[in-house]
């Protein structure tokens, strides 16, 4: 089971996303940790926030991500409202 510590070496690094016809890169900007619900959570809940330029567009879905330090991991990404860049979130509850 993945934990926030598994992704700490990825923060600030470009992460390769396995897409077709070729892979793209997004950057893991931060990890947000949340307090576990006593007795309900098996692991500490957390979210990963990735950013990319506007020309890197990923539809919501599960992708294999790898930054060369651990992985690849199949991770569900959801795009948040873009501004001057695209922002993707992966939630681990």
DSSP string, 46-93: EEEEEEE-TT----SEEEEEE-SSS--EEEEEEEPPPSSSEEEEEEE-
DSSP class of residue 34 equals -
Rounded CA separation 65/7 (Å): 11
- pLDDT score, position 82: 82
Domains identified in the chain, total number? 1
Closest by Cα among 67, 55, 60 to 89: 60
Segments forming the whole domain that contains residue 32: 4-92
Q: Dump pLDDT digits (tens) for 16-70.
A: 999 999 999 999 999 999 887 766 667 789 999 999 999 999 999 999 999 877 7
- pLDDT score, position 90: 97
Q: Which pTM was predicted?
A: 0.90
């Amino acid at each position: 089971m993945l934990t926030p510590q598994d992704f700490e070496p990825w923060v600030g690094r470009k992460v390769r996303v396995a897409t077709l016809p070729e892979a793209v890169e997004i950057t893991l900007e931060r990890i947000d940790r949340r307090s576990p619900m006593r007795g309900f959570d098996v692991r500490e809940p957390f979210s990963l926030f990735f950013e990319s330029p506007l020309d890197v567009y990923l539809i919501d879905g599960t992708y294999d991500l790898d930054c060369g330090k651990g992985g690849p991991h199949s991770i569900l990404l959801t795009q948040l409202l873009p501004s001057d860049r695209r922002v993707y979130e992966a939630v681990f509850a």
